[in-house]
Structure 1
């Protein structure tokens, strides 16, 4: 059965999503929606001739679609999700899921009451070394995990004329942490496999001073199982070439990855063995789109659904509260 997709938002991030659907045999983008007519026309042509809409209600009422893919600015996610759920459409939504606890409660209510599937577009979960690391941790290869570190930093060429809505807290929801920093945040929770309970954060504005929010962040997260996580993220600088994409240290060894391969060591082996696992390259957007379609066809719950998206949001909101109040925040304070 072919799954028919309505693409909501036809800007830059929509392109890798659309390309992903073009590679899935059982999926087709049949409708696109954007207030910018030229953007909508461009994506409709790339899709091979899709219906074009300029507003979400008309798309949901008249579009020949089974599901929507939301590629809108952050502050518009909640409204689009709730409208789509109330129309009985399944949902893939770019990160972040939404911006506040009140929005999160509305999203969870709409998805639950309408029985639709929601998948958070956490594409980096499909990196092969991350999936292998999770499997090794779950198999107790390293015993008790002590600390985990995830990173995503780069020198961004944003300026006042190109940054657009991301420069404004009311649209982005904060700063870099809730944008690019969302990736290492969900990666950390994925690897920890435990409920986060405390957050301590320091935010910085090293270089992009025209932003309302931070351009860099460091966040510590304590988990229920005792593990401590460290998120390092920024738009202000080029990281040192030795910076790992993620790593973990544990009672029986360690693992680390540059995002392509995985290196790990199990302590006590004689002779000492440091394993380097070479893994195939995967286009994570393509893998994410293919999995979304498979979830709908199989009736399977996505690896990152609305509950997971809310947990990531709680950590980030806790980090903002921690930085503002200069204290460690218990995440029981960030619940609805």
Structure 2
């Protein structure tokens, strides 16, 4: 028997990468599928030639399969119920973001996880890319001195159709947590306040506000600014955003696609009105798997080593606070303390 016996809750398209990764592991096996439609759970097993049971209730699935780990790839509205049931039944949980649909529900989930003594890690796959790891490591090494500001631009024009087009705040609710979490990861600091202005630009095909500008004050005294839109046609950024991190000694740029670049003050040159700068390398030394697979590697490692994962719920809730703080600020027109 392999050490990690997994029940997969949610059998939609999002679950495919999770399932494929688990099937390729030497230390894990899938022992059951759960979906609100039993036929979907059965179909997920049949597609992969797995002779394992299908369920409509996660608690029953855990009990009958003797599972010790749940993959929660259900819709956000189900996360609170699925995670609560899983940890109360003695399982660890790896789940898709967000932790819950509201900040209050996220806090409730975290309380239940802590009371259970189990682990709950959240998928934040954009931390697991070689360039962003290089940016983070270079900042930690002091390459650009003390960070004073982080700036992220996110401009795309995706025509999803479906539920996103009808959401009140599609950009902030459905996407911005990725960039907000990246800012925390890069800087090593947490947000302490936010001012956000949401709007819907001319030509937008979204019902709700699909554009926003946010100013976050961070716990280390730096400022993080976010400019984003999901209805911006032309000159698109990457999905990872376009970053400028300004420190006391220089600046790192990363466009989300190509390797990051860095310029620092050239101390060998005499002082001048605009100081001379030189480009210095940003070493890319991280050799882990990228994206979802990299995050799952970290999640499994945390269980083996009996420690919180890098994206443990106790950390991820701080990124969620940025999202819901931004929504509150946009609604009230005031700066919100987090």
**TM-score w.r.t. length of structure 1:** 0.87
Following TM superposition, by how much is the alpha carbon of 1:263 offset from its aligned partner in structure 2, in angstroms?
Answer: 1.3
Residue 7 (structure 1) aligns with = 8
Stretches of structure 2 that go unaligned for 5 or more consecutive residues are: 269-276
1:286 counterpart (285, 290, 293): 293
Residue 304 (structure 2) aligns with = 297
Q: Superposition pairs for residues 93-242 of structure 1, below 5 Å?
A: 93-159=95-161, 163-164=162-163, 167-168=166-167, 174-206=169-201, 209=205, 211=207, 213-238=208-233, 240=235
Q: 1:239 to 1:79 in 2, by over 3 A?
A: farther
Give CA deviations for 1:127-172 in whole Å, capped at 9, x if unaligned: 111112112212222111111123444322222xxx1377356xxx
Separation in structure 2 between the aligned mates of residue 35 and residue 152 of structure 1, nearest angstrom:
35
Q: Is residue 57 of structure 1 aligned with residue 74 of structure 2? A: no
Following TM superposition, by how much is the alpha carbon of 1:277 offset from its aligned partner in structure 2, in angstroms?
Answer: 4.9
Residue 252 (structure 1) aligns with = 249
Q: 1:235 to 1:242 in 2, by over 3 A?
A: closer
Q: Is residue 34 of structure 1 aligned with residue 38 of structure 2? A: no
Q: 1:127 to 1:232 in 2, by over 3 A?
A: farther
User: Is the CA contact 1:184–1:233 (under 8 Å) kept in the aligned structure 2?
Assistant: no
1:275 counterpart (267, 278, 281): 281
User: Is the CA contact 1:144–1:251 (under 8 Å) kept in the aligned structure 2?
Assistant: yes
Q: 1:322 to 1:294 in 2, by over 3 A?
A: same
User: Is the CA contact 1:99–1:313 (under 8 Å) kept in the aligned structure 2?
Assistant: no
Q: Is residue 314 of structure 1 aligned with residue 313 of structure 2? A: no
Following TM superposition, by how much is the alpha carbon of 1:35 offset from its aligned partner in structure 2, in angstroms?
Answer: 1.6
Q: 1:147 to 1:158 in 2, by over 3 A?
A: same
Give CA deviations for 1:160-213 in whole Å, capped at 9, x if unaligned: xxx1377356xxxx53212121100111111222231110112123355554x4
Q: 1:315 to 1:12 in 2, by over 3 A?
A: same
Question: Aligned Cα RMSD in Å?
Answer: 2.5
Q: 1:232 to 1:95 in 2, by over 3 A?
A: farther
Residue 272 (structure 2) aligns with = none
* Count of residues in Structure 1 that have an aligned counterpart in Structure 2: 323
Q: 1:225 to 1:276 in 2, by over 3 A?
A: closer
Residue 334 (structure 1) aligns with = none
User: Is the CA contact 1:150–1:185 (under 8 Å) kept in the aligned structure 2?
Assistant: no
DSSP 3-state at the match of 2:266: coil
Stretches of structure 1 that go unaligned for 5 or more consecutive residues are: 332-336
**TM-score w.r.t. length of structure 2:** 0.86
User: Is the CA contact 2:59–2:89 (under 8 Å) kept in the aligned structure 1?
Assistant: no
Q: Is residue 86 of structure 1 aligned with residue 88 of structure 2? A: yes
User: Is the CA contact 1:27–1:293 (under 8 Å) kept in the aligned structure 2?
Assistant: no
Following TM superposition, by how much is the alpha carbon of 1:67 offset from its aligned partner in structure 2, in angstroms?
Answer: 0.7
DSSP 3-state at the match of 2:281: strand
Q: Is residue 17 of structure 1 aligned with residue 18 of structure 2? A: yes
